[in-house]
């Protein structure tokens, strides 16, 4: 990490401010070359201070900026960091970036600032992933969970488990190194108990994988129903914006519209689909075929029915198709009365609403939230939730511990027990970064934006 890296850390585009970030041992000297202030050079400034000045190239003025100084080790990367806050827009930040590159900085790779924070020991790998989760969060729940992980909630639990297994392994290795010491049944039973406790601890973490996925990615939810029943109006109501075109003419929606709705702090990946009926045009047939394909992949179905009319053939066919999926029946147009045949809806989850008046929408949001979050409280957002990478590593670790338990029960040599325990520890270490490979690091940080 000898290079000094630079990147624009704010989105390119028109805005009030843009930030250009430098990190590395030459940061202060490079800032000296481009910054002109009223009170000395950046390399003379105290740490954690902000200074007004201008960026120049020779006698040419580029922009006025606020310069922030963060000396090692008290910075995001633990290296010397300099940040330039300039005017937003398409040009100023880019010209400052180019000027710093001309003075010897290297353009940062995606996520390289956070990668340096990890490699320099300021954060562990779960906290580095939490940074990406914070940037990517689409709802308050996802953000709250990511902040909890950044604070180290998951890291501390994993470290507790790692130390527990390390201590048990130390006892096993002591018996290997000193074979003259008797291995009593009590010794094996205590070791077996430690392993069982660790497996139970892992299973508790693994149970959080589903909720973690819901918070990060949402649940794929499809809105289906016959034409002109209110599907697009429901999408707009749940999004809180006019995303889909609403028109009395049936068949307005020809293709699938996908958006993420915020349902009580949880992300809901909504798909508004073409209404299912006897199609005429080829484009309408294709739209309906896509509806059927998306229905197969959906994790939650919102089936919209017209509560003011009796069920038609297509309604009953949809009910039969959707019963195999997690399903909420949305009975729209309750303001026009409710004469829909209740026999077909017996034992199904239903919610009566009026998209015209807004009545019943809060109840529907609550029902969706209960499905997504399985009745947990909003305070649960701050609990520990693993992601897919953590889940895969934990499953490998648990499998190794199960082999350990079997070896202990079979009274096999402690060399075999120790080998299985080391395998379990190595898999755990991948999660926090103790034993992670360069390929895994590259994969994780390639998901970050440049400048983070």
At 43, which CATH number?
Answer: 3.30.1360.120
* In the predicted structure, residue 425 carries a pLDDT above the cut 70: yes
What's phi and psi for 95, nearest 5 deg? -70, -40
In a domain, 149, yes or no: yes
Q: Are residues 247 and 316 in the same domain?
A: yes
* In the predicted structure, residue 159 carries a pLDDT above the cut 80: yes
Quote the pLDDT of residue 383: 84
In a domain, 28, yes or no: yes
Residues 228-241: tens digit of each pLDDT: 888 888 998 888 87
Integer Cα distance of 219 and 39 in angstroms: 55
Do residues 4 and 82 touch, judged by C-beta distance below 8 A?
no
Q: Are residues 11 and 99 in the same domain?
A: yes
Arithmetic mean of pLDDT, 343-353: 85
Quote the pLDDT of residue 295: 79
Arithmetic mean of pLDDT, 65-89: 96
Most confident of 18-32, 179-193, 379-393: 18-32
Q: Of 79, 108, 137, which one is at a domain's C-terminal end?
A: 108
Q: Which pLDDT band holds residue 1 (cuts at 50, 70, 90)?
A: low
Integer Cα distance of 122 and 155 in angstroms: 13
In a domain, 451, yes or no: no
Alpha carbon of 243 to those of 61, 234, 309, 415: distances in Å? 44, 10, 27, 63
Quote the pLDDT of residue 253: 46
Arithmetic mean of pLDDT, 141-160: 93
Arithmetic mean of pLDDT, 98-124: 96
Q: Which pLDDT band holds residue 256 (cuts at 50, 70, 90)?
A: low
In a domain, 40, yes or no: yes
Mean pLDDT of the chain: 87
Going by C-alpha positions, the residue among 425, 401, 412, 446 that lies closest to residue 162 is 425
* In the predicted structure, residue 429 carries a pLDDT above the cut 70: yes
Q: Are residues 47 and 93 in the same domain?
A: yes
Integer Cα distance of 235 and 410 in angstroms: 59
Q: For residue 120, what are its two tokens?
A: 């320099």
Arithmetic mean of pLDDT, 167-193: 76
**Beta-strand (E) ranges in 185-335?**
219-224, 257-263, 266-272, 300-306, 327-332
In a domain, 398, yes or no: yes
In a domain, 414, yes or no: yes
Going by C-alpha positions, the residue among 279, 93, 134 that lies closest to residue 216 is 134
Q: Are residues 238 and 321 in the same domain?
A: yes
Q: Are residues 71 and 94 in the same domain?
A: yes
Residues 27-65: tens digit of each pLDDT: 999 999 999 998 889 999 999 999 999 999 988 999 999
Quote the pLDDT of residue 80: 97
- Minimum mean pLDDT range among 22-36, 103-117, 239-253, 275-289: 275-289
Q: Are residues 155 and 63 in the same domain?
A: no
Q: Which pLDDT band holds residue 92 (cuts at 50, 70, 90)?
A: very high
Q: Are residues 254 and 375 in the same domain?
A: yes
- Minimum mean pLDDT range among 181-190, 217-226, 268-277, 397-406: 181-190
Give Rg (Cα) of the chain.
Answer: 29
Integer Cα distance of 294 and 234 in angstroms: 18
Q: How many domains does the chain divide into? A: 3
Quote the pLDDT of residue 246: 46
How buried is residue 205: exposed, middle or buried, by Cβ count under 10 Å (0-12/13-18/19+)?
buried
* In the predicted structure, residue 252 carries a pLDDT above the cut 80: no
Q: Of 77, 108, 139, which one is at a domain's C-terminal end?
A: 108
**End-to-end CA gap in the chain:** 16
Q: Are residues 199 and 304 in the same domain?
A: no
Q: Which pLDDT band holds residue 288 (cuts at 50, 70, 90)?
A: low
Q: Are residues 236 and 373 in the same domain?
A: yes
Dmax over Cα atoms in the chain, in whole Å? Answer: 88
What's phi and psi for 144, nearest 5 deg? -60, -45
Integer Cα distance of 318 and 393 in angstroms: 40
Q: Are residues 417 and 321 in the same domain?
A: no
In a domain, 118, yes or no: no
Positive or negative: CA dihedral 412, 414, 420, 421: positive
Q: Are residues 229 and 371 in the same domain?
A: yes
Q: Is the peptide bond before 412 cis (omega within 30 degrees of 0)?
A: no
Q: Which pLDDT band holds residue 281 (cuts at 50, 70, 90)?
A: very low
Q: For residue 358, what are its two tokens?
A: 């807004």
Integer Cα distance of 363 and 352 in angstroms: 9
Quote the pLDDT of residue 375: 67
Arithmetic mean of pLDDT, 355-382: 85
Percent of all residues in the chain with a pLDDT value above 70, rounded to a whole number: 90
Arithmetic mean of pLDDT, 354-365: 92
351 DSSP β-pair partners: 330
In a domain, 154, yes or no: yes
* In the predicted structure, residue 5 carries a pLDDT above the cut 80: yes
Strands 300-306 and 219-224, by their bridges, are parallel
What's phi and psi for 181, nearest 5 deg? -75, 135
Quote the pLDDT of residue 341: 77
Q: For residue 317, what are its two tokens?
A: 């066919």
SS3 (DSSP) at 52: strand
Domain that holds residue 151: 127-208+386-445
Residues 385-416: tens digit of each pLDDT: 999 999 999 999 999 999 999 999 888 888 89
Running DSSP on this structure, what letter comes out for residue 75?
S
Quote the pLDDT of residue 274: 60
Quote the pLDDT of residue 250: 47
Q: Are residues 375 and 258 in the same domain?
A: yes
Q: Of 348, 380, 412, which one is at a domain's C-terminal end?
A: 380
User: What CATH number has the domain bearing residue 417?
Assistant: 1.20.120.430
User: What CATH number has the domain bearing residue 371?
Assistant: 3.40.50.300
């Amino acid at each position: 990490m000898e290079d000094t890296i630079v990147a624009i850390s704010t989105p390119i585009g028109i805005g009030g401010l843009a930030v250009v970030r430098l990190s590395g041992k030459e940061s202060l000297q490079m800032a000296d070359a481009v910054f002109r202030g009223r009170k000395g050079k950046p390399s003379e400034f105290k740490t954690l201070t902000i200074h007004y000045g201008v960026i120049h190239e020779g006698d040419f003025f580029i922009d006025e900026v606020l310069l922030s100084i963060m000396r090692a080790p008290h910075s995001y990367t633990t290296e010397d960091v300099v940040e330039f806050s300039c005017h937003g827009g398409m040009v100023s930040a880019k010209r400052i970036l180019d000027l710093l590159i001309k003075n010897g900085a290297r353009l940062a790779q995606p996520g390289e600032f956070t990668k340096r924070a990890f490699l320099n020991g300021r954060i562990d790998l779960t906290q580095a992933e939490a940074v990406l989760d914070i940037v990517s969060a689409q709802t308050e729940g996802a953000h709250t969970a990511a902040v909890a992980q950044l604070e180290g909630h998951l890291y501390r639990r994993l470290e507790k488990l790692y130390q527990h297994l390390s201590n048990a392994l130390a006892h096993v290795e002591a018996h290997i190194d000193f074979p003259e010491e008797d291995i009593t049944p009590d010794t094996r039973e205590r070791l077996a108990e430690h392993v069982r406790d660790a497996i139970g601890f892992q299973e508790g973490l693994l149970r959080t994988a589903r909720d973690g996925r819901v918070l990060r990615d949402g649940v794929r939810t499809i809105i289906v129903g016959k034409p002109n029943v209110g599907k697009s109006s429901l999408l707009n109501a749940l999004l809180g914006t006019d995303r889909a075109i609403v028109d009395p003419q049936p068949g307005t929606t020809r293709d699938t519209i996908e958006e993420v709705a915020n349902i009580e702090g949880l992300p809901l990946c909504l798909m508004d689909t073409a209404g299912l009926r006897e199609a005429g045009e080829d484009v309408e047939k294709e739209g309906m075929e896509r509806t059927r394909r998306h229905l197969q992949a959906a994790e939650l179905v919102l089936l919209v029915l017209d509560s003011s009319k009796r069920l038609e053939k297509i309604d009953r066919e949809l009910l039969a198709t959707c019963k195999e999926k997690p399903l909420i029946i949305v009975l729209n147009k309750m303001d026009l009365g409710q004469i829909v045949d209740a026999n077909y809806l017996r034992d199904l989850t239903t919610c009566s609403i009026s998209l015209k008046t807004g009545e019943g929408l809060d109840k529907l949001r609550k029902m969706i939230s209960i499905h997504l979050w399985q009745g947990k409280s909003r305070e649960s957002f701050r609990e520990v939730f693993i992601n897919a990478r953590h889940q895969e590593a934990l499953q490998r670790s648990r499998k190794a511990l199960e082999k350990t338990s079997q070896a202990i029960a079979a009274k096999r040599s402690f060399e075999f027990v120790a080998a299985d325990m080391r395998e379990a520890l190595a898999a755990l270490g991948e999660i926090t970064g103790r034993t992670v490979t360069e390929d895994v690091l590259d994969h994780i940080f390639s998901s970050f934006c440049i400048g983070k």
